[in-house]
């Protein structure tokens, strides 16, 4: 996919993405990515309207590197918890990128039923980016997500 084929601006008809893209862009500046030189910034909106952010934090022991989504979920709980309704992730070129599989699973645990993820192809639901997801209901028959 060429850079020109990627969505690098929010959908014109839906202004809710602009503040999230701006927040993810700001989070990019907080990335610690000296090994891959691939900074990532993430931003999500909660049901109560807060915007939470995160950046990837690498480590010389690659296995303990944290994706931007992980630090964003930490910010979610640091600022009061809740569920995410919208999410976007940008790379250092400010292209909209997809969360990796691990991060999709993480987002699934902390999303509102109506959460939308801005992808390079436009907004998608959690079910579209992680179909037939394994979740809290699979490990105890109940939903343990915070309310």
96 is in an annotated binding site: no
Q: How far is CA 141 from CA 81, 82, 114, 134, 135, in A?
A: 22, 20, 21, 12, 10
56 is in an annotated binding site: yes
Mark whether 114 is an active-site residue. no
23 is in an annotated binding site: no
Is the Cβ–Cβ distance between 50 and 58 less than 8 Å? no
121 is in an annotated binding site: no
- Alpha-carbon torsion, ordered 106, 25, 80, 77, to 10 deg: 30
58 is in an annotated binding site: yes
Is the Cβ–Cβ distance between 54 and 69 less than 8 Å? yes
35 is in an annotated binding site: no
Which is catalytic among the residues 26, 47, 69, 114?
69
Binding residues for Zn(2+): 67, 100, 103
Binding residues: 56-62, 67, 100, 103
Residues with a catalytic annotation lie at 69
Binding residues for substrate: 56-62
């Amino acid at each position: 996919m060429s850079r020109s084929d990627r969505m690098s601006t929010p959908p014109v008809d839906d202004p809710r993405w602009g503040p999230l893209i701006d927040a993810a862009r700001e989070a990019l500046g907080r990335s610690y990515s000296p090994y891959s030189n691939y900074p990532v910034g993430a931003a999500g909106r909660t049901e109560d309207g807060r915007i939470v952010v995160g950046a990837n934090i690498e480590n010389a022991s690659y296995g303990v590197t944290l994706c931007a989504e992980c630090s964003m979920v930490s910010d979610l709980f640091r600022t009061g918890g809740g569920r995410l309704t919208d999410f976007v992730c940008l790379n250092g070129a400010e292209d909209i990128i997809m969360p990796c599989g691990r991060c999709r699973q993480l987002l699934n645990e902390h999303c509102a039923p109506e959460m939308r993820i801005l992808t390079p192809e436009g907004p998608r639901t959690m079910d579209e980016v992680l179909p037939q997801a394994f979740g809290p209901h699979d490990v105890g028959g109940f939903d343990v997500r915070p309310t």
